[in-house]
Amino acid sequence: MQMLNRYFTPFALILIASAVYFRLDEFRASGLHAPLIAVAILAADVLLNWWIARNQYRWIGWAARLRQLQVWMNLVWAIPLFYLLYPFWAPMWLLFVTAPTAAALTTSRRETLACSLAAAGAMIGIYWLRQNYALEGEFLGMALSQASFIVIFALFVNGLAQTALRLRDASLR
């Protein structure tokens, strides 16, 4: 899970900082407090990820469960961040790639598929809510393309991780 903290947390920071920086005038004009809420959510996510990474081996029997908790909590954090910021910054959907990718590195193919389907479903659900219960035409195609990328990318990373483990195990013989 160190890879999640090392690569995806800075990526999430860049996404959110870009949304706030480049769209700050729109936030101010609409009177929304979305940037403050997003920063607070991201801070909670960073603190939780840091705490789990720091303590997961202290309770070695719980390490696998803590990794699963970290994966699913990252998905939970992505939902309100996406809901708040995607109307202002379209690339926010990429937040839904982080949790399934982390799952791909640390869990089974089945759990990776479950996490990626949950992420893709949450994203489409938010699109549906924000589009007043209608996903049509080009927008529907975009949403389905993004959702399929989330699932396929997570399964791809899981396949790479499993191949790396098989190669390592074969070299140990």
Q: What is the pLDDT of residues 7-30, one digit of tens each?
A: 888 888 898 889 888 888 887 777
Mean pLDDT of 160-165: 89
Q: How confident is the model at residue 170 (pLDDT cuts 50, 70, 90)?
A: confident
pTM listed for this prediction: 0.85
Per-residue pLDDT, averaged over 117-122, amounts to 98
Give the pLDDT confidence score for residue 132 in this predicted structure: 76
Closest CA to 87 of 159, 32, 161, 160: 32
Average pLDDT, the chain: 86
Mean pLDDT value of segment 74-95:
92
Q: How many CB atoms lie within 10 A of CB 48?
A: 16
Work out the average pLDDT over 86-109: 91
Mean pLDDT of 107-116: 94
Least confident of 42-51, 57-66, 78-87: 57-66
Q: State how far the Cα of 106 lies from the Cα of 134, in Å rounded to an integer.
A: 36
Mean pLDDT of 119-127: 96
- Counting residues of the chain whose pLDDT is more than 90, the rounded percentage is 38
Give the pLDDT of residue 151.
98
pLDDT of 113: 97
Provide the pLDDT for residue 1.
Answer: 53
| Crossing angle between the packed helical segments 137-172 and 95-106, to the nearest 10 degrees | 20
Backbone φ and ψ for 133, nearest 5 degrees, come out as 65, 30
pLDDT at 111 over 60: yes
